[in-house]
Amino acid sequence: MNITDRFLKYVSFCTTSDENTGMTPSTPGQMEFARFLADELKTIGLQEVTLDSNGYIMATLPANIESENPKIPVVGFIAHMDTSPDASGKHIQPRIVKNYDGKDIELSDGIILETAKYPEILRYQGQDIIVTNGKTLLGADDKAGIAEIVTAMEYLIQHPDIKHGKIRIGFTPDEEIGCGADHFDVNAFGCDFAYTMDGGAIGELEFENFNAAACKIRVHGINVHPGSAYHKMQNSMRIAYQFAVMLPRWETPEHTQEYEGFYHLIGMNGTVEETTLNYIIRDHDRARFESRKREMEHLVRKINREYGDGTAEIEIRDQYYNMREKIEPVMHIIDLAKEAMTAVGITPVVKPIRGGTDGARLSFEGLPCPNIFAGGENFHSRFEYLPILSMEKACQVILEIIKRVK
């Protein structure tokens, strides 16, 4: 199966993750997709294919080389099966725009992928691009990464003349809700180092990421009939709004870039009696990250001083940390990825991730794991798209890395 057909098959599975279920995987569609993938890996000839009860897949491509090196490093490639809950991943209807002409793309009636808003797409003029119908995300994050890894493994199986060491692959659930590494068994994976195929545009190579935390604020109110509410009612929604506007207006995702951190309100739900605010907190610098968490706690104390103890409650959970400190001692794996990209005609673009990957947490668990582009753009959006050539090039990068690990 070619890589495009493989990707289009993968996005037919609805694998949106959900942080509210408390299960792993968090949604049944992920396990359905995992079973399909496990069967596919066996069919193409991979060995030691395992699928555990939490939806984690691992498989092996055995070494086919004899070397004077007594221990050829075992390299792994990892991608995640879920798609973001930020946009619908159900009933995705992909379409291939052939030989893109550089103009706005009408995704469906009245829904336009505009070059003025998304000028990066102009880099792909003359290429074939996979888009959505503008009503769902596409799922290139990270089903493109899975398609690239599986296609590369299939190619190596079909071309035994390409000599290589042992290769391991792993597919995880629930990365988009910060849980992709929760049950990943690093020892069972058994790699010296690995790469997540979970980056964006072609050429991206990343070994720095945000320190990340999830924060939930619960505000308790008192409901009284509005006709007799004077000095009695406490409207939790209004208090929650007061909390939200106390945070720095310009320290939000839409006003920050590169190494700048932010507070991001990702959800709010409430009544007069109770309102919940869900935030994510991000910063590349660990000290500033800790300061941001303290600021959230400080603002909760201010609310409680004004409205009474227990009016607001806060829960903060660290999700992952900046992997840079774990990658710097093994920078040869970054050099290896750069060499592989250069070999297939790609200029490496080394940049910090304004987000995170499974690799961030795995790096702190003893598996150095930088991130390589999967090729898509506008992730988590109904304007997401995937240049087919970028996906093909990512597959070639995997093959070139493998050829060089000897």
Catalytic residues: 82, 175
Within 10 angstroms of residue 258's Cβ, the number of other Cβ atoms is 8
Omega before residue 192 within 30° of 0, cis: no
Contact 322, 209 (CB under 8 A): yes
Report how far apart, in Å, the C-alpha atoms of 82 and of each of 128, 281, 346 are: 25, 22, 28
Rounded to whole angstroms, the Cα distance separating 29 from 151 reads 22
Burial class (CB in 10 A: 0-12, 13-18, 19+), 294: exposed
Rounded to whole angstroms, the Cα distance separating 173 from 385 reads 22
Rounded to whole angstroms, the Cα distance separating 19 from 26 reads 7
Rounded to whole angstroms, the Cα distance separating 259 from 371 reads 17
What residues are paired with 268 via a beta bridge? Answer: 277
Contact 78, 196 (CB under 8 A): yes
Kindly report the three-state secondary structure assignment for every residue of 229-245: CCCCCECHHHHHHHHHH
Within 10 angstroms of residue 249's Cβ, the number of other Cβ atoms is 8
Rounded to whole angstroms, the Cα distance separating 391 from 406 reads 25
SS3 170: strand
